[in-house]
Amino acid sequence: MLSITNISKDMGEFLLDDVSLDIAEGEYFVIIGPTGAGKTILLETIAGIYPPDAGSISIESRDVTFVPPRERNVTMVYQDYMLFPHLTVEQNIGFGLEYRKIAPEERKSRVGEVAAIFGIEHLLHRYPETLSGGEQQRAAISRAIVLEPAVLLLDEPLSALDGQTRERLRHELRKLHARYRTTIIHITHNFDEVFSLASRVAVMNKGQIVQTGTPEEVFRHPESSFVAGFVGVRNIFSGTCTTEEGLSRVSIARPDGTEAVVWSLTPHPGGEATFTVRPEDIMIGREACSTSARNSFAGTISDVVDNGMVVAVHVDCGLPFIAYVSRQGWAAVGAAVGETIHLTFMADAVHVF
Amino acid sequence: MKGDLRRNGVKVATIAIALVITAFIISLLLLVITRPDPQAVIESLLSPEIRFAIYLSLVTSVISTLLCIAVAVPAAYALARYTFFGKSFVSMVLDLPLALPPLVAGVALLLFFGTTAFGDALASIGLVFVFTPLGIIIAQFFVNLPFMLRIMRSTFTDISPRYEYVACTLGCTNLQAIRRVTLPMAGSGFLAGAVITWAKGIGEFGAALMIAGATRMKTETLPISLFLNMSCGELELALSAAIILIVISVVSLYIFELYGGSAKF
């Protein structure tokens, strides 16, 4: 549906470096990455704001690499709305319909229809500056979706909003996608948006796409230490890997010279390897757990941080582990900083790359 | 002496300086306005010479302002939106007339239109700039272009190009996006720039004197009239020209402040 092939663009401060992506019809595709990774230029290049230095873009099997934005049927929503301040909400939403030569009466009814979906039909006569942030963003999304674009580009559409509004609008985006089945590319910093919206997610860094997959794949099985670090994998260690009994055996040298061994279900060709365990996959107990779990360590509690939702327990097992437990779970363990504790996790919770 | 938080010497001294200079400016303006006999001022304002000067000033300044707008708006847009080879040099040269003494600008214009083949060619098709009202227009245009240009550039720079990007995805060509979105958003900066350019044009003296000369009832704008009548002792006529110029300055400064809050020179 949307095919980006080896796109490069150097804008000085930002760049795209040989980016390729294939996005299917009706997909909700989310792109995450640190500030300056080139996410916005990627969207703007798809929209046709700049010609790429190299590579090609096709939409619905039509090469649009050097086609101007107005002939692409791609619309875009920015974080700070970009509603035209001298036009009413109705004129803003109907702006694109004018250029499609839609008659005024029909324009009015289509604008009304979209505004009703977002619950802003009572604001149509107002000017953007008199609207709240959430209302402005609803108007901006309406303006983009009313054209029924082949691809809808959303550049951090929820980042400027307060927590409650963000949650509500996120929900509305899901409904919108369910209703129109538009192909959507959505940039965000917010992982909640990835899990609640994305059918697939890509991670960008320094102008390149470093990993693509379902949210589950990317968050559980990062393919590089950059992705692991970026998606918030806390326990990340490097060592050497061998295969024994059909399992990957990773050996890590502790600072004191002893060897820590971790077992994983992830196949690995052997040699230098990095393994990760998500903090919420680690069980904590005063006694060593006698379960089928392959990995068990004893260590000293070095710090306990109450994050509100979960308690982050930092345990020094020669390797610095972090485990997340619920507040009730932590209270049940009844341990304090300085005490010895046992960590247990399954071989399938360990990801090796 | 012990300090006292309630006594702020710096505050008192700096405010005093600001107040003294304000009083000085106001008393100068009041002096010009109140010095002549009101009856004589009204008579002078109705005299053919002053009426001609008002007419010539209005016509030349409106035309030169329109020319400034026609050139400054696209040039300012280019400087605000695009990067191109030699941009900083172009930008500096465009600002140069601002720093140049108007008399020097006038001499340069006189040489250009009076002594070059290009000037002769223009003259042969009837466009004579030397010692004519056309010279006044070109002098005002040349000296005041940087004002319009700088105000428009800062106005365009303050408008995110993303408005145009969105307009283009919604179906506009680049030019339509500018016309439908950027120009309306630049409205108040445009008005402020046009008013200040016009007011500067009305008051333009040095460059206009050089290229257009000071001929009574021919190239006699309000500032030239002030100069001519002052030189030959016609105080009433000179001061009535000055009063009109003061009124124009005050009104246009007010309009500029009203609409040009965000525009910078």
Residue A227 and residue A205: Cα distance in Å, rounded? 9
Average pLDDT over residues A311-325: 88
- The first and second tokens of residue A154, run together, are 């959303």
Same domain (yes/no): A108, A23: yes
Helix axes B162-169, A39-47, angle to 10 degrees: 40
Cβ partners under 8 Å of residue A336, min gap 6: A301, A304
Question: CA of A72 to nearest chain B CA: how many angstroms apart?
Answer: 8
A71 burial type by CB count under 10 A (0-12 exposed, 13-18 middle, 19+ buried): exposed
Contact B203, B223 (CB under 8 A): yes
Residue that has been written with the tokens 């847009």 in this structure: B77
Among the partner residues B160, B166, B184, nearest to A76 by beta-carbon distance: B166
A99 and B163 within 8 Å at the Cβ level: the answer is: no
Average pLDDT over residues A243-258: 85
Name the B residues in 162-221 with CB < 8 Å from any A CB.
Answer: 162-163, 165-173, 176, 180-181, 184-185, 187
Cβ partners under 8 Å of residue A143, min gap 6: A75, A77, A83, A92, A93, A95, A96, B166, B170
Question: CA of B174 to nearest chain A CA: how many angstroms apart?
Answer: 9
Residue B65 and residue B61: Cα distance in Å, rounded? 6
Nearest residue on chain B to A146, alpha-carbon basis: B170
Residue A29 and residue A184: Cα distance in Å, rounded? 6
Same domain (yes/no): A180, A247: no
Which of A97-106, A274-283, B105-114, B127-136 has the lowest average pLDDT? A274-283
Same domain (yes/no): A220, A328: no
Domain enclosing residue A54, as ranges: 2-225
Residues A89-131: tens digit of each pLDDT:
999 999 999 999 889 999 999 999 999 988 899 999 999 999 9
> Would you say residue A161 has pLDDT above 80?
yes
CATH number (domain holding residue A319): 2.40.50.100
Q: How far apart are the first and last CA of chain A?
A: 31
Higher pLDDT, A163 or A16: A16
Residue finishing a domain among A202, A225, A248: A225
Q: Residue A50: which of A59, A41, A58, A40 has the closest Cα? A: A41
Same domain (yes/no): A8, A110: yes
Question: CA of A146 to nearest chain B CA: how many angstroms apart?
Answer: 10
Cβ partners under 8 Å of residue B200, min gap 6: B140, B143, B144, B147
Among the partner residues B172, B184, B185, nearest to A99 by beta-carbon distance: B172
Global pTM? 0.81
Average pLDDT over residues A62-84: 93
> Would you say residue A160 has pLDDT above 90?
no
What are the strands, taking DSSP E only, across chain B? none
> Would you say residue A288 has pLDDT above 80?
no
> Would you say residue B263 has pLDDT above 80?
no
Average pLDDT over residues B146-175: 94
Residue A195 and residue A216: Cα distance in Å, rounded? 8
Q: Phi then psi for A263, rounded to 5 degrees?
A: -105, 140
User: pLDDT confidence of B260, banded at 50, 70, 90?
Assistant: low
- Average confidence score pLDDT of chain B: 90
Kindly state the helix (H) or strand (E) to which residue B202 belongs, with its residue range.
Answer: helix B187-203
pLDDT score, position A330 = 86
B173 and A44 within 8 Å at the Cβ level: the answer is: no
Task: Give A68's contacts in chain B (Cβ within 8 Å).
Answer: 168, 173
Same domain (yes/no): A199, A315: no
Among the partner residues A47, A85, A100, nearest to B169 by beta-carbon distance: A47
User: pLDDT confidence of A280, banded at 50, 70, 90?
Assistant: confident
Q: How far is CA A27 from CA A141, A197, A214, B40, in A?
A: 17, 10, 11, 83
Same domain (yes/no): A313, A336: yes
> Would you say residue A222 has pLDDT above 90?
no
A78 and B171 within 8 Å at the Cβ level: the answer is: no
Same domain (yes/no): A201, A255: no
pLDDT score, position A93 = 95
Among the partner residues B162, B172, B187, nearest to A78 by beta-carbon distance: B162
Cβ partners under 8 Å of residue B103, min gap 6: B206, B207, B209, B210
Residues B100-121: tens digit of each pLDDT:
899 999 999 999 998 899 988 9
Task: Give A44's contacts in chain B (Cβ within 8 Å).
Answer: 165
Average pLDDT over residues B221-228: 92
> Would you say residue B73 has pLDDT above 90?
yes
> Would you say residue B128 has pLDDT above 80?
yes
B170 and A74 within 8 Å at the Cβ level: the answer is: no
The Cα angle at residue B160 between residues B155 and B166, in degrees rounded to 5? 130
Residues A26-39: tens digit of each pLDDT:
999 999 998 888 89
- Average confidence score pLDDT of chain A: 89
Contact A228, A222 (CB under 8 A): yes
Q: According to the 3-state scheme, what is the secondary structure of A16-50?
A: EEEEEEEECCCCEEEEECCCCCCHHHHHHHHHCCC
Residue A143 and residue A123: Cα distance in Å, rounded? 14
Tell me if chain B has a CB within 8 Å of the CB of A193. no
pLDDT score, position A238 = 82
Give the sign of the dihedral formed by CA A242, CA A245, CA A247, CA A252.
Answer: negative
Nearest residue on chain B to A85, alpha-carbon basis: B185
Tell me if chain B has a CB within 8 Å of the CB of A147. yes
B166 and A78 within 8 Å at the Cβ level: the answer is: yes
**What domain count does chain A have?**
2
Q: How far is CA A81 from CA A127, A129, A132, in A?
A: 13, 11, 11
pLDDT score, position B237 = 87
Q: Phi then psi for A241, rounded to 5 degrees?
A: -120, 140
Question: CA of B219 to nearest chain A CA: how many angstroms apart?
Answer: 43
Residue B93 and residue B103: Cα distance in Å, rounded? 18
A76 and B181 within 8 Å at the Cβ level: the answer is: no
Task: Give A70's contacts in chain B (Cβ within 8 Å).
Answer: 168-173
DSSP label of B182 = I
User: pLDDT confidence of B188, banded at 50, 70, 90?
Assistant: confident
Same domain (yes/no): A150, A257: no
Same domain (yes/no): A219, A241: no
- Mutate which: A70, A75, A92, A146, vs B, most B CBs within 10 A: A70
Residue that has been written with the tokens 């601002």 in this structure: B98
CATH number (domain holding residue A79): 3.40.50.300
pLDDT score, position B265 = 53
Among the partner residues B160, B163, B168, nearest to A70 by beta-carbon distance: B168
> Would you say residue A233 has pLDDT above 80?
no
Q: How far is CA A112 from the centre of its chain?
A: 32
Same domain (yes/no): A221, A74: yes
DSSP label of B178 = I
Same domain (yes/no): A215, A92: yes
Residue finishing a domain among A200, A225, A250: A225
Report the residue count for chain A.
353
> Would you say residue A235 has pLDDT above 90?
no
What amino acid is encoded at B206 in this protein? G
Same domain (yes/no): A221, A240: no
- The first and second tokens of residue B30, run together, are 């009041």
A86 and B187 within 8 Å at the Cβ level: the answer is: yes
Residue finishing a domain among A181, A208, A225: A225
Q: Which domains does chain B have, with CATH numbers?
A: 37-259 (1.10.3720.10)
Question: CA of A111 to nearest chain B CA: how many angstroms apart?
Answer: 14
SS3 B11: helix
Average pLDDT over residues B46-54: 91
Pairing of strands A311-316, A320-325: antiparallel
